[in-house]
């Protein structure tokens, strides 16, 4: 098995069968994380890039079975911030020393192309790099946001198992989501995708396919999120919470896509106090501190127990900086583009 990890570390290529073997082995977590940590250091260095996360609306027209923001969750009070509020939070993120903000929301039709472009322009005037994570849109809409100044886009494929996707994302279509991902890449965005790990009936073979999909669509960033059941969703009794398996998928992603950006996801931190640390020592090089105001934060419930729910933006950020220093790493000083994307611009 060590041979396979060595092969991944040196060639950055494994086939599906080899990935499945590594995912099946219950004894190789530490070896995989160590190998991914070395590859991370070699290709993207010791800096950890911070992205200020602004969760600006929890309205969603979709009904993903796993997600607390799904439209049929009537227990969740809904909010949307106004344009000034969103831009002033971005300005505050800049004052706190952040260089990138991520605007994330459910699929909220109130934010039409014109409104989104106004917000994008307002934030770009601040001199920040800007990532959008607002779901599936037409190619024309993605082009309009890009034209307005958006730099990056996050949209997870969630799973490459089409049956699992159809079961968990009613009314949505896997091919259309994959097409959104391809459109974003073609438009020149720094492309972020990712998957959930631990969905009911998810096979190790499909996780192997997920990793190969990230390579195929040429991701610049990949976020791996352990699925955490939410009590107000149809999956409330599902198991989920597979931190170690999520860490393995993340480490394998680093081994196969060595020069991309990989966040230590908040869901990993939510599952264990050292979840984020393990991720940062196993291939991750990005953290997304929450800069949403505390009043709204408790209602952005993709899943329960998000660790940052009770903190103010400044307190969240300080916690993160302390952690980075305690790991002997440094806070990224620039925009923190993925080296993979930068190489493509040459």
Residues that bind ligand SF4 (CB under 6 A): 60, 62, 64, 67, 69-70, 106-107, 135
- Of these partners, ligand SAH, ligand SF4, none, which one is at the site of residue 291 (CB under 5 to 8 Å by kind)? none
CA–CA separation, 134 vs 102, rounded Å?
Answer: 10
**C-alpha distances in Å from residue 168, one per residue of 62, 235, 294:** 11, 9, 30
Structural tokens at position 173: 């279509």
The Cα-based distances of 87 to 126, 142, 316 in angstroms read 9, 20, 19
Taking Cα atoms as reference points, which of 313, 286, 307 lies closest to residue 97? 313
Span interacting with ligand SAH, options 12-20, 75-83, 155-163, 281-289, rule CB under 6 A: 155-163
Indicate the residue among 153 and 341 with the shorter CB distance to ligand SAH: 153
CA angle 301, 307, 310 (to 5 degrees): 80
Closest approach, Cβ 263 to ligand SAH, in A, equals 12
Q: Is 142 in the site for ligand SAH (CB under 6 A)?
A: no
Q: From the list ligand SAH, ligand SF4, none, pick the one residue 146 interacts with, judged by a Cβ distance below 5 to 8 Å according to partner type.
A: none
Write the CA distances from 36 to 219, 250, 326, 331, integer angstroms.
17, 9, 20, 20
State the number of CA atoms in the 13 A half-sphere of 244 facing the CB. 10
Under the criterion CB under 6 A, does residue 303 sit at the interface with ligand SAH? yes
Q: Say which entry of ligand SF4, ligand SAH, none residue 70 contacts (CB below 5 to 8 A, set by partner kind).
A: ligand SF4
Is 302 among the residues that bind ligand SAH (CB under 6 A)? yes
Give the range of 32-40, 100-108, 179-187, 292-300 binding ligand SAH by CB under 6 A: 100-108
List the x/- string, 215-244, binding to ligand SAH by CB under 6 A: ----------x-xx-x--------------
Identify what 252 binds: ligand SAH, ligand SF4, none; CB under 5 to 8 Å per kind. Answer: none
Residue of 66, 111, 142, 300 interacting with ligand SAH (CB under 6 A): 66
Percentage helix, strand, coil for the chain under 3-state DSSP, each rounded to 5: 45, 15, 40
**Shortest Å distance, C-beta 156 to ligand SAH:** 4
Distance in angstroms (rounded) separating the CA atoms of residues 219 and 155:
11
Query: Which positions from 263 through 282 interact with ligand SAH, judged by CB under 6 A?
Result: 267
Paired tokens of 81: 């911030």
Q: Which is nearer to ligand SAH, 159 or 281 (CB)?
A: 159
Q: How many CB atoms lie within 10 A of CB 76?
A: 18
Q: Which stretch binds ligand SAH (CB under 6 A): 99-107, 285-293, 315-323, 338-346?
A: 99-107
Count of positions on this chain that bind ligand SAH (CB under 6 A): 18
Give the Cα separation of 141 and 144 in Å (integer).
Answer: 5
Q: How far is CA 148 from the centre of its chain?
A: 23
Nearer to ligand SF4, 69 or 184 (CB): 69
Going by C-alpha positions, the residue among 131, 53, 115 that lies closest to residue 300 is 53
List contacts with ligand SAH (CB under 6 A).
66-67, 104, 106-107, 133, 135, 155-156, 158, 196, 225, 227-228, 230, 267, 302-303
């Amino acid at each position: 098995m060590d041979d396979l990890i060595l092969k991944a570390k040196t060639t950055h290529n494994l086939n599906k069968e080899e990935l499945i073997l590594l995912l099946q082995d219950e004894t190789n977590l530490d070896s995989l994380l160590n190998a991914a940590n070395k590859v991370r250091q070699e290709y993207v260095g010791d800096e950890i890039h911070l992205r200020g996360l602004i969760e600006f609306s929890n309205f969603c027209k979709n009904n993903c079975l796993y997600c607390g923001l799904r439209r049929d969750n009537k227990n969740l009070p809904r909010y949307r911030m106004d344009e000034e509020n969103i831009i002033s939070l971005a300005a505050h993120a800049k004052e706190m020393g952040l260089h990138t903000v991520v605007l994330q929301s459910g699929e909220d039709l109130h934010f039409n192309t014109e409104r989104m472009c106004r917000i994008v322009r307002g934030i770009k005037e601040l001199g920040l790099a800007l990532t959008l994570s607002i779901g599936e849109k037409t190619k024309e809409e993605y082009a309009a946001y890009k034209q307005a100044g958006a730099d990056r886009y996050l949209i997870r494929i969630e799973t490459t198992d089409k049956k699992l996707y159809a079961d968990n994302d009613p009314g949505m279509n896997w091919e259309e989501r994959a097409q959104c991902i391809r459109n974003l890449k073609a438009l020149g965005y720094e492309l972020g995708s990712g998957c959930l790990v631990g969905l009911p009936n998810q096979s190790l073979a499909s996780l192997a396919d997920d990793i190969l999909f990230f390579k195929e669509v040429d991701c610049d960033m990949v976020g791996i999120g352990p699925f955490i059941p939410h009590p107000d969703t149809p999956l409330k009794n599902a198991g989920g919470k597979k931190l170690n398996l999520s860490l393995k998928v993340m480490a394998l992603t680093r081994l196969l896509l060595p020069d991309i950006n990989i966040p230590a996801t908040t869901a990993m931190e939510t599952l264990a106090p050292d979840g984020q640390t393990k991720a940062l020592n196993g291939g991750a090089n990005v953290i997304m501190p929450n800069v949403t105001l505390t009043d709204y934060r408790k209602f952005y419930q993709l899943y329960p127990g998000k660790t940052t729910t009770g903190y103010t933006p400044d307190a969240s950020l300080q916690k993160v900086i302390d952690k980075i220093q305690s790991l002997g790493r440094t806070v990224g000083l620039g925009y923190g583009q993925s080296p993979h994307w930068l190489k493509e611009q040459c």
